[in-house]
């Protein structure tokens, strides 16, 4: 089966929760694996259309069929994603979730700092994580060094412009993380209308909150630096996988800390540098999609 809609991002803007909620509607089929990254990574794209569409087996022809990959709006790292998607499904509908830029940058850094024993993209055929996703252990330094993954993909107008070259505005719905969080029922109703499914359908539970920062544990600085090369990560995985589970659990408390204890703090110079890169784009984005300028107060929200 071929998808009829795509959730194209942005990362850390509530897409995991949103896709889960969409999939609860009986007229919507969402891929069991939320992020297929098919149009992003060359290795995954090379798997071919048959592999891609096999992820939607079980969908009915009467359903709207979707998937959601946040790498589709990271054009600095994946410049071909929009074109590939448009060539494959020119009539598809796109949903783009965004978030307060400064909050999104901080949350993305925390996610990329998350201790991972395996490459998270390995299941879709990507052997090695892009260097842009290996962030520095220091937040403010990472913002500058890894601007490609942390800052550039937060230029929302630039990202959606990649798709507006191929898709008319009536095929694109933009929403905010803040809308999803404050009134998920109303936001989902708008999305159901956009996807032309029954907008009066009520979900059993709108209070789901998945992929939360508070649920994560981050590697302590010394371990994160040790993990700086694939060979070292492989060595770590080999050694720890041979240990009994109770030993691994014990070491987890020593080697990692709750993400809430490592919440990043902006230094004034880094914040000013980011706002200089994002300010004009953010203002144009909010204005174009009908949001008031005060939707995000970037001067104080950091």
> For residue 302, what pLDDT is reported?
47
pTM over 0.85: no
> For residue 220, what pLDDT is reported?
56
Name the residue ranges covered by the structural domains of the chain.
5-213+268-295, 217-262
> For residue 121, what pLDDT is reported?
84
At 72 the three-state DSSP class reads helix
Query: What whole-number distance in Å separates Cα of residue 195 and Cα of residue 190?
Result: 9
- Out of 3.10.20.600, 3.40.30.10, 3.40.50.620, 3.40.50.300, the CATH code matching 5-213+268-295 is 3.40.50.300
**For the segment 196-209, what is each residue's pLDDT rounded down to a tens digit?**
999 999 998 888 76
Low-confidence ranges of the chain (pLDDT < 50): 115, 117, 302
Q: Which of 42, 38, 35 is nearest to 11 (CA)?
A: 35
Query: What whole-number distance in Å separates Cα of residue 238 and Cα of residue 241?
Result: 5
């Amino acid at each position: 089966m071929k998808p009829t809609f795509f959730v194209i991002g942005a990362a850390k803007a509530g897409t995991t929760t949103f896709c889960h909620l969409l999939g609860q509607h009986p007229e919507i089929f969402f891929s069991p694996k939320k992020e297929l990254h098919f149009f992003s990574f060359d290795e995954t794209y090379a798997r071919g259309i048959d592999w891609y569409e096999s992820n939607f087996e079980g969908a009915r022809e009467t359903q709207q069929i979707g998937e959601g990959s946040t790498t589709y709006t990271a054009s600095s790292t994946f410049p071909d994603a929009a074109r590939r998607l448009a060539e494959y499904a020119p009539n598809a509908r796109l949903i783009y979730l965004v978030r307060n830029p400064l909050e999104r940058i901080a949350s993305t850094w925390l996610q990329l700092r998350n201790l991972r024993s395996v490459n998270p993209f390995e299941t879709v055929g990507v052997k090695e994580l892009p260097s842009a996703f290996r962030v520095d252990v220091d937040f403010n330094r990472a913002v500058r060094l890894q601007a490609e993954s942390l800052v550039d993909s937060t230029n929302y107008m630039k990202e959606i412009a990649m798709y507006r070259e191929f898709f008319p505005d009536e095929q694109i719905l933009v929403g905010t993380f803040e809308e999803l969080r404050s009134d998920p029922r109303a936001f989902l109703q708008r999305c159901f209308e956009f996807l032309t499914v029954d907008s009066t359908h009520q979900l059993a539970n709108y209070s789901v909150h998945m992929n939360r920062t508070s649920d994560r544990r981050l590697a302590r600085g010394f371990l994160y630096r040790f993990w700086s090369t694939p060979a070292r990560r492989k060595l770590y995985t080999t050694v720890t996988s041979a240990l009994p589970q109770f030993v691994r659990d014990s070491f987890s408390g020593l080697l990692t800390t709750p993400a809430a204890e490592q919440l990043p703090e902006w230094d004034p110079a880094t914040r000013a540098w980011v706002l200089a890169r994002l300010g004009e784009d953010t203002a144009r984005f909010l204005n174009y999609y009908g949001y008031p300028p005060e939707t995000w107060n970037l001067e104080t929200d950091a």
